[in-house]
């Protein structure tokens, strides 16, 4: 799994982003439950979430 950690910054838009659904996930640093967005961009599915302590985290969710 590829993990991109972005601290207190907005995710740069590389391509057109299309929201698939909203869900919950956990912060990879502190395991706090967070609201998350699952979206498609450039043929891959990503999940993004923002921890109030550790900032924004974007993960590749599915990438074939």
Outline where DSSP puts E strands in 1-64.
3-6, 17-26, 33-41, 44-51, 55-62
Whether the pLDDT of residue 47 is over 70: the answer is yes
- Report residue 59 as tokens: 């993960």
What predicted TM-score, i.e. pTM, was given to this entire model?
0.71
In the predicted model, is pLDDT for residue 23 greater than 80? yes
Give the chain's mean pLDDT.
Answer: 84
Lowest mean per-residue pLDDT among 13-22, 32-41, 42-51: 13-22
């Amino acid at each position: 799994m590829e993990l991109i950690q972005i601290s207190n910054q907005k995710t740069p838009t590389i391509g057109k982003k299309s929201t698939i659904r909203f869900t919950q996930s956990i912060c990879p640093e502190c395991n706090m439950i967070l609201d998350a967005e699952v979206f498609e961009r450039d043929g891959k599915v990503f999940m993004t979430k923002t921890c109030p302590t550790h900032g924004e985290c974007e993960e590749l969710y599915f990438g074939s």
